Amino acid sequence: MEGAETAETDSDMLNHIMYSTVTFIFGVAVLIKYFRNELRVGVRSIAAMFVLFVGGPMCQFGIGGHNGLAIYVCWCLITYIALPANHIDIDGKAVLITGCDSGLGNALTQYLDERGFQVFAGCLDKERKGAIQLASLCSDKLTLLQLDVTNEEEIQHALQVVQEKLQGQGLWGLVNNAGVFSFMDIELTPMCKYRDLLEVNCLGVVRMVQVFLPLIRQTKGRIVNISSTYGRVPLMGMSAYNISKAGVEIFTDVLRQEMKKWQIKVSVVQPYGFLTACTARDKMETAYQAMMNDLSPQMKQLYGTQYFKMYYREIVQQEGRTLRSTESLSEDSRFLCRCVRDALLSKRPQARYPEGPGARLAMILADHLPDTVLDFSLPYLLPAWARIQPSRL
């Protein structure tokens, strides 16, 4: 009798040791992956914590025995595989980023430079404050490029500089970040504004990919396009911006399919709710004044004084803050930088990186809600200006 009790105690002790060992190995493996890859808490990491603190005890005390241990081991393995993939070594890899004068491009240049990338930073004007600041803050691996993505001569000159610097080594990554913004009614938006946004936000991406693709093919590297959730979510007042970013979305999808034969991985980052230099007060003010100067007296009378006053107060003076969620009124771009870094270095990069509070939800709702519900609800994401009716002007 005592022998049976001793055997049972030994078996329980062995089971406890085995569960503890699996838990320890799994926990350490998850921590190493997150610290090495600079990841952050998300759905998959929460699932890993659930397995550790809930799944383990459930299998040990609920199922028990060898079956419980086997289920727990399988659960840990599946959860670990589902976590974001490990990153490859940077090892002096070269990356070209557009739109580095300010905003995300500026922050991303510093972020990648600190981590050892050789960064080519394309600036609209490399003699201005933003570019000069980069030169002073970054390492000697940084190369500033005079690069307007709508200017064929500057693109070709940038290509020559990159080729000379790389000395035949090839370019690992291209990050198409350059972009401009517009916010006004379709009827009030001049055609030149549509052309400007398409040229920079969409066709600028196409140009850069076509020109630098041979260098990326040498390394079987990465292409990362910075789009926006507004490429998927239609919002009144943003038709020009929506169109240009929707073009980036579909272009990236097609490019990702075509690049598989060259083993080049393509991703799109979709920011939502972040402050950006595109909505700075001076730029919003300039766009507003240009709109007002182009409007005929009849059009001004049709929309009414109150309409434009509210537009100016709630959109221009607030620097577009009403287009962003309350939680994200911060210029901290580290989350977006991490998305780009993962797209550049992950062994299994995601096709899409929605980033910002509610980004995934906004796109899911836009894709699946009935149009009548969508048309009714979306204006409430905007200030009161969006709900003024002509009869009330």
Q: What is the helix, strand, coil percentage profile of the chain, to 5? A: 65, 10, 25
Identity at 54, one-letter amino acid code: V
Q: How many CB atoms lie within 10 A of CB 41?
A: 9
* Residues contacting residue 78 through CB under 8 Å, at least 6 positions apart: none
Per-residue CA distances from 53 to 35, 58, 340 (Å)? 20, 9, 31
What residues are annotated to the active site?
Answer: 241
245: left (phi over 0), alpha (psi -120 to 50) or beta: alpha
SS (H, E, C) 261-330: HHCCEEEEEEECCCCCHHHCHHHHHHHHHHHHHHCCHHHHHHHCHHHHHHHHHHHHCCCCHHHCCHHHCC
Q: Identity (one letter) of the amino acid at 144?
A: L
The CA distances from residue 220 to 89, 294, 388, in Å, are 15, 48, 52
What does residue 215 show for φ and ψ, rounded to 5 degrees? -70, -35
